[in-house]
Structure 1
Amino acid sequence: MFRANNFVFVPNQSLIEMEKMVIKMNPIKRNSLDEIQLARAFAIIAVLLVHSSSSGITAVEPSSILYPIYNFFNIAGKLGTPTFIMLSSFVLFYNYYPRATTWDLMKRFYVKRLKFILVPYLVFSALYFCIKWYIYYDYPTIGDAFARFAELTALGKAHPHLYFVFISVQLYILFPLLLLLFKKSSFLRKNAIWIGLLLQWGWVILNKNYFGIVMKGSISLSYLSFYFVGAYLGIYYNEIRAKMKNILYKDKIILPIFVGYGIMVVLYTGYMYLVRIGVYSSIVPYLPPTVNSYIAEFTWATHALLAGLVLFYIAHIANKKFSTRTKLLFMEIGATSFGIYLIHPLLLMGFRAIYNSGSPLLYHGWQLVTLILITVLSWAIVRFTTRFIPQYWMIFGQMQPMQRNEKK
């Protein structure tokens, strides 16, 4: 065995013995992370709210009394995907930071992600592409269709929501490098939050003024603050979790986060409402050019980051306060959240085809019914698949066993 920088090279037959030795030398107790499963549940519900309300934003007249309500849920709910990114980074650093970083460990890491993330991504990219091909497009040849499919899949654009998986793959590619950097630099570890913000905004400013990349929302650099905050939480989780019980910590850290989130909800939803009803353009001449250039990015990014932290904390409160049945319900939603994320747009397309216009009462009622149905049916499809199809991971990735209501 020999060491090069932070990587440890060992023979394959010695790997198990080495990991046992590491555990003995560094006996860190790992928590069950029920809170993270709850946070995933909250995040996927936010995603479903956004997608369910999207048709109302386009169909309802801005003068309608219900338009501000649709706008609020559609904009305030845009915290789900960034929260998933933050939670993914958290889980990776929480699980891998205390362990010896070996080539074999990284190999297993990539094989697992390739199997449980990339394969379902390709399956659903093909599914959504074929559906839209059948309904909307007519490619001259099979070769043209395949070329278009390859292009869209490579960019995470076979269907709009798949950009999240595309970004996640970028995170997995970057993860070993980030892990080494965080292990090597105590300065980076302790200042990860501010460094992540600076790096993300450096990219935003450079892209705005020099690069001009339109699809920046599908590039991992646009989410560096979420990566770094997740890394910070994962590395220092045991300490942070203990501090959450401290009154001073709540007053100095948690309360300002909640206040900041409340302010950003008002700013972000208000800004988007003014844009959508056509009023913001009349305000632009009275605002500084810098504000006009970055207000959209600032309100979205700041709102989403604070929302992720709020959900992270609320999940810890919910883990203590929820009844056993309520907790198991949300734990089940969290456990199937990736599958729900992949399948729900397909159901949403179907329900919108059934009823997408008509009397206001029926239309608005149908939006609520649609939200409930896509949530329940998405979960049912995912769980049915995991229970009765042996190779379910090819469709929905790796899933946990269904939660059971155990007696206390």
Structure 2
Amino acid sequence: MTPSDARSPFREREFTDALRHAAGLAALSPSSHNCQPWALARLESRPARRAAADLLGTPDDDGHVYLALALDLRRQLTTLPGHFVEMRVSCAAYWRMLTRALAAQGWTTVAGRAHEGRDLLPARAPVRSWPQDWSLLWTAALRRGGGPAESLTAFRVAAHARHTNRGPYEAAPLPAPLLGELARPRPDADAGAVEVRHLASAAEREAVAGFLARHGGIDYSHPAAWRETHAFIRWSPAAVRAHGDGFPAPLLFGPLTRARTVARRIALAPPVMRLLCRFGYDRSLAAGLAETVRQGPAVVAMSFPQGPPGVADAFAGGARIADYWLGAARAGLALHPVSVLMQHDELRRALQAELGISGQLFFLSRVGRPLTAYPRSPRRADAAACRTV
């Protein structure tokens, strides 16, 4: 393939179509509070391509296409220290699903680089169209070549099946071979960057459930944290359509009559929640979540063995979450993350000590066979997170 062939109208249209399809599947990725903090740029202008080629050490020829992933600072959660890692891991899960969907269409990543802090692409070249509220996380070069890395149809089915299910799970133990398969990294993953552990014995599940019952109410009793969480509850179909993110009330509480919707809305309003927490409402809510953990078959815990992660580590973590969740969906399993214990650093450290987990725990979730179907969380339009620079 010559450079002129690579930049032919047909080749350009081929990648545009592949990227559009991949971005639609990547938009189904999980994120804390379903805030969808990712932002994707296709680097097309001469300054942007030159900057990317310089960063990655790739030839600035017509055979490469360049993408950049950023954290949209307008959409990130910021209240708690633990959100810093969560936002980057959420973006990384999106990137993993995007690049797997592209690889399934024959587009291979040939180079990539993590960016720490405010290492922005415009600092390398006058890329005037780069949004100032996008913080660059990853830049990559891709080429067309080789066969599909996996079945696009199978990937699409798994991506659509993957979503959070907050309902009850079957109590029957999950087969050890299945858990072992889920814990194994894919061949293209950084095997040493993340440790995956299943807490499947009654004693291990009780340890997590008991800890959650004692401490999980902090999400409701911490005024700033609850204000941020509450802001993502969508109380009407119109609000769901307008925002395309967050938690529709039926996903949190099940079907609600108009009267019960009003009652819930009043009870969960931050000023009312502060009052109710004085009477133990936060502990009651935590106890209910703890019981779902206690009755399920397993909890999956993921940690960074080397401690606090950089961006590259966070990307390995997000990739493992995406791979694990897609594998679980293929096996007919569901997940329900228990994020509250990850977002408060003091709780995370105490839980790690109780479970004997070293490094930094970054993902904790119920996993099992759901007893009831659960609708998917809303998503923004595919194009909302993408632009060309």
Assess same fold via TM > 0.5.
no
In our comparison, the structure showing a higher alpha carbon Rg is 1
Q: Which structure shows the bigger proportion of residues in strand conformation?
A: 2
In terms of fraction of residues, the more helix-rich structure is: 1
TM-score range, shorter chain: under 0.3
TM-score (ref. length: structure 2): 0.25
Give me the TM-score of the superposition, normalised by structure 1.
0.24
